[in-house]
Amino acid sequence: MEQRYSPEDHLAKLTQDWLGTVLIIGAVLFPALEFMDYFILPYDKFVRFLTYRLVISGLLIGLYYLNRLKRNKVYQYSIASAGTALCAITIELAVLQSGGQSSSYYAAMIVLAICGLGFVPISMPLAFILVGIVYGIYVVPILLTETITSGVFISNNAFLISSFIMGLLLRYNNQKLIVSELQLRAELSEDKRKLELASLSLKDQVAEKTGELTISEQKYRSFFDNATDGIAVLDPSGVITDVNRQFCLLHGFDRAAILGTDYRILSAGPFDGKEDERLTRMLRGESLLYEAEHYRSDGSKIQLEISARAIEIGGAIHIQSFHRDITEKKQLQEQAIQSQKMESMGVLAGGIAHDFNNTLTAILGHTEVLRRRIRADEFGLKRVTTIENAAKRAGLMVSKLLSFARKESLELVPTDLNMVVMDTAELLGRAFIDRNITPKVDIDPAIPAVSGDSIHLEQLITNLVMNAMDAMPGGGTLTITTSAMEVGLSSKIRPFLTPGKYVVLVVGDTGTGIPPEVRSRMFEPFFTTKPIGKGTGLGLAMVYGIVKSHQGEIWVRSEVGVGTTFEIYLPSLDKPAGLPSREFDGVPLYDAAGSECILVVDDEQDVLSFIKDTLDSHGYKTFATDNSVYAQELFQEMSDDIDLVITDMVMPLMNGAELSRQLKTKKPDIKVIGITGFSGGAIAQAAQNIDRVIKKPFDGARLLTTVRQVLDGGAAAHFDAPD
């Protein structure tokens, strides 16, 4: 910004400049006008006057240089006064030596006044002083040295005074004009300065706002680029104009490749006009939240939750949409739905288990009674045996369905893997037929037992078999084998196994095979190559978890187009598993007879009659009722005679656990056996006041043996499951 304008400084500069100009003019005019002396003066005076002129010219030049040395009002006024006085003295010397009062050189005083008053912007007081100096130097010497006799002197004075007055008036007018001009310049300069200040302030404000906008843009660009959700900005026609880094990562595209692309191309759904409808609704001002499926650059699909609305950018309407990856969320939802299905299945299966097992118990019990009545009828005995075996298989199927539908803790006991394989193959037999699968089961009867949980091992085999069948959509061959294997310290067959003895389960198929890039992730939870809704990605993850929970290892061999083989290595025990018998291995029936008094309570008449007939036929004195409330009254009357109570665990009016509690309150040493078609923790917790629990369905031998053990002081309450 320019320095602030000062009228005083400008006036001082004018005074200095014009004073210098007048001094130079005077230094030039004095010698230049010497030619006039040549025509009117004698030679000796001409030489003298020339000397005067040269001297004053030199003095004026000296004053000129003094004037340039310093700029100050008093300083310049002093030089002006000195210069005026020197010029007046020089002129007065010429006047006195060229006729005095009648000399024509007085006119030089007028020129001096014109130069001093007309050009140099001095103040009026100084102008009066200089006029006084000039006039005094002219008049005083003449008055002192001469007697005024000529009217020329008076005439000269009149001209001289008139010239001085006119010069003073001119000086006054010029000074007024100069002051007005300087004031105007000062005002203009001040206005200019204010404008400059305002301009600088405006520039500062603009710079500040620009900086703020830059920071704001950087901040919001940082928010935009570093947002955890993918963000896309579309124009009204649906063309992508801007995306952030996360959007590119979600879709697998570079930013340059995706800009200018129609947003609809990314949609993996059918082109049914939904995208256009959503775009129209957003342009009308609606905010939308919806789910969609998009393609990624590698052709895979991603599930997205999209929140979008219209925004204004630079006066134009755009669509801003936020994209959140919900693929894992969808998988978790599918898992939750699957878990709910399994839970519902468990609840449903548990709900029907009691009634179904009651029916099976009645069937098994009465076929046993019938068997005793028709011992001589071989044809009838064969049919009874068929009925018994069918009922037992039905009971086993119900038990497996319940085990599959509920979550159970791992219970490692010596287990025959061969039996687990046979039971699972039997359970899945119908599925093999429906899918045109040829099963080949080759088990080694000499394999040792493993420490395992049969339910979890069944689930392991089931998952592997189901995966194998899915890999053979057009049918094929499924192979399941068992064998024993010993791994030494230097074995190179399976280097990942620790030395020891193992039972090997092999499940192979002739299906499509598993590509190498899938094989590296096949055991990851929720990873699946099946279409959405066809798989949860948990099957092989569960297989892996079950194998590891049994301290085993799993090995996979697969070739695309040939098939896949899973090898499961489970540590074996020292004793062989053998082929377990389904026959009752308790004491002979005659050892289970007795004469004690037994109260039987069951709301199912068929089960009640079976239990009563079985006990009566072996010497026991039995009182049977299908009403738990009546049973209380009966026990109240006969508590001293009753040695044992057999009660169903689930009955109307009062369940078996509550009945047992009330009976033991009246007679603490009474023995109680509970019978139930349910299983699991809930029944075990409810059986705290029960001495023994028998799970339905059961036969007469199991019933009689349990009754005898409890009456003879058997172990504390526990489940006595059927074979």
Three-class SS of 362-399: HHHHHHHHHHHHCCCCHHHHHHHHHHHHHHHHHHHHHH
What pLDDT shows up at residue 398? Answer: 66
- 352 part of a folded domain: no
Q: How far apart are CA 584 and CA 580, in angstroms?
A: 11
CATH of the domain at 489: 3.30.565.10
Q: Are residues 701 and 607 in the same domain?
A: yes
Give the pLDDT confidence of 272-281 residue by residue, as tens digits. 788 888 888 9
- 626 part of a folded domain: yes
Q: Are residues 122 and 75 in the same domain?
A: yes
What pLDDT shows up at residue 597? Answer: 95
- Mapping DSSP to helix (H, G, I), strand (E, B) and coil, where does residue 149 land? coil
Q: Are residues 567 and 594 in the same domain?
A: no
What pLDDT shows up at residue 494? Answer: 65
228: exposed, middle or buried (C-beta count within 10 Å: 0-12, 13-18, 19+)? exposed
Q: What torsion, rounded to 10 degrees, do the Cα atoms 122, 128, 130, 133 define? A: -170
pLDDT at 673 over 80: yes
Contact 709, 568 (CB under 8 A): no
The beta-strand segments (E) located in 207-275 are 230-234, 240-243
Give me the chain's average pLDDT, please: 81
Which structure tokens are listed for 121? 């912007």
Give the pLDDT confidence of 11-49 residue by residue, as tens digits. 788 888 888 888 888 888 888 877 777 777 777 777 888
Give which of 183, 161, 36 is closest to 104, Cα–Cα.
Answer: 36
Q: Are residues 550 and 664 in the same domain?
A: no
Of residues 530 and 154, the one with the higher pLDDT is 154
What pLDDT shows up at residue 534? Answer: 54
Q: Are residues 568 and 713 in the same domain?
A: no
Q: Are residues 79 and 105 in the same domain?
A: yes
- 502 part of a folded domain: yes
What pLDDT shows up at residue 289? Answer: 92
- 311 part of a folded domain: yes
Q: Are residues 699 and 662 in the same domain?
A: yes
Q: How far apart are CA 178 and CA 10, in angstroms?
A: 10
Which helix (H) or strand (E) segment holds residue 597: the answer is strand 597-601
Pick the range with the lowest mean pLDDT from 87-96, 279-288, 521-530, 557-566: 521-530
Q: How many CB atoms lie within 10 A of CB 32?
A: 12
The domain total for the chain is 4
- 582 part of a folded domain: no
Q: Are residues 569 and 605 in the same domain?
A: no
Q: Are residues 166 and 306 in the same domain?
A: no
Instruction: Give the type of residue at 621.
Output: K
Q: Are residues 637 and 490 in the same domain?
A: no
The DSSP 8-state label assigned to residue 118 in this structure reads: H
Q: What's the pLDDT band for 714 if we cut at 50, 70, 90?
A: low
Whether the model pTM is above 0.85? no
- Mapping DSSP to helix (H, G, I), strand (E, B) and coil, where does residue 503 land? strand
Residue with token string 């509920």: 406
Contact 677, 633 (CB under 8 A): no
What pLDDT shows up at residue 41? Answer: 73
CATH of the domain at 269: 3.30.450.20
Give which of 642, 612, 618 is closest to 705, Cα–Cα.
Answer: 618
pLDDT at 344 over 80: no
What pLDDT shows up at residue 505? Answer: 94
> Averaging pLDDT over each range in 104-118, 360-374, 511-525, 628-642, which range is the top one?
628-642
Which structure tokens are listed for 233? 């900005």
Q: Are residues 701 and 641 in the same domain?
A: yes
The DSSP 8-state label assigned to residue 680 in this structure reads: S
Residue with token string 């006009």: 273
> Averaging pLDDT over each range in 138-152, 387-401, 448-462, which range is the top one?
448-462
- 72 part of a folded domain: yes
Q: Are residues 39 and 166 in the same domain?
A: yes
Q: How far is CA 43 from CA 38, 107, 108, in A?
A: 7, 22, 21
- 177 part of a folded domain: yes
Range(s) of the domain holding residue 250: 227-325
| Helix (H) and strand (E) counts in the chain | 22, 18
